[in-house]
Structure formats: C-alpha cells, structure tokens
Amino acid sequence: MIGVKTSIFDYMYEKYMETTRLMSKMNYIPAIASGEIALLLILYSGGMGLAIYNLPLEGPLLIMHLYGAILVAVLSLGLLAAAVNYRDKGAILISFLNVLSILFAAFEGSFYFGGIVDVSYLMQMGMGFVFAVITASGCLIYAIKRGE
C-alpha cells in the first residue's frame, strides 16, 4: 500500500516537473501566453454575460471587465518583453501583433463602454478579442515548438 502512494506522488511530481519545464521555455513565454488566454476567456464569458442577460453597462461588472482588460494588456506587454529579451524574431512579431490586437480591442471598447453604444464598436472590440486569442495561442505554440 505504501508503494502505491509513493508511485502516485512520484507520478504527480514528474508531471509537475514536466509542466514547469514546458512553461519556462523562452523566458516563460508559454506561461504568460496561457495566463493571457485564460484571462481572455474569462473576460469573454463575462462580456457575453452582460450581453445575454441584458445587464446594464455600469457598476461592478463593468469595472471588473475593465480591470481584466487592463491585466490582459499588462500580460501582453510582458509577453512582448519576454520575446524581446529572448531575441527571437518570430516570437517578437507574434507578440507585437498580440499587443496591437489588445490595443485595438481596448480602443474600440473604450468607445463602446464610454457611452457610444453602437454595434459597430462592439463588433470591432470582438474582432480585436478574437485576434488577441489567436496571437496569444500562436505565441504559446511557437514557444513550445521552438523553445529549448
């Protein structure tokens, strides 16, 4: 019975070490990118909750959405900084496109949440979101495939 517990813990420790080796490639680009993707998906579910339940664009839901978007922007800049520090041109290009897509989504979202409730701003914010998810996923895949 003791051997079974030891082997389970050994297996969990091996998986933990394997995950940390995977996430620490290329100056932690996979870890930053996966955190950004997770936060983007949380923001998506919150934004769709506002739309589906027809909640007003005010109060704590709006503040949480804005703070989450600020955190995504900070993670995006951290991703670019890690890529520049690693000096890989492909990672720099993908992470720079990620920063641009986050800025585009934030710019359009500032109009939509700032009081000009027009569907075109909402669609452009969503387009920036989709491109941000694509570029963050690209950073994650690129760093896992190319990193040491």
Q: What is the pLDDT of residue 1?
A: 47
Distance, CA of 100 to CA of 85 (rounded, Å): 19
Q: Is the pLDDT of residue 58 over 70?
A: yes
Give the least confident one: 51-55, 78-82, 109-113.
51-55
Nearest CA-CA partner of 6 in 99, 25, 38, 14 = 14
φ, ψ of residue 114 to 5 degrees: the values are -80, -5
CB 135 within 8 A of CB 109: no
Tell which wins on pLDDT, 115 or 37.
Answer: 37
Q: What is the pLDDT of residue 4?
A: 54
- Two structure tokens written together for 138: 């690209």
Kindly report, residue by residue over 18-42, the tens digit of the pLDDT: 999 999 989 999 999 999 999 999 9
Rounded mean pLDDT of the chain? 89
The model's pTM is 0.86
How many CA atoms lie less than 13 Å away from 83 in the CB half-sphere?
29
Q: What is the pLDDT of residue 95?
A: 97
Distance, CA of 16 to CA of 22 (rounded, Å): 10
Kindly report, residue by residue over 2-13, the tens digit of the pLDDT: 555 568 888 999
* Percent with pLDDT over 90 in the chain: 57
Report residue 72's pLDDT band, with 50, 70 and 90 as the boundaries: very high
CB 126 within 8 A of CB 19: no
Residues 131-135 have a mean pLDDT of: 97
Residues 116-133 have a mean pLDDT of: 88
Mind listing the domains of the chain with CATH numbers?
27-145 (1.20.1440)
φ, ψ of residue 87 to 5 degrees: the values are 65, 45
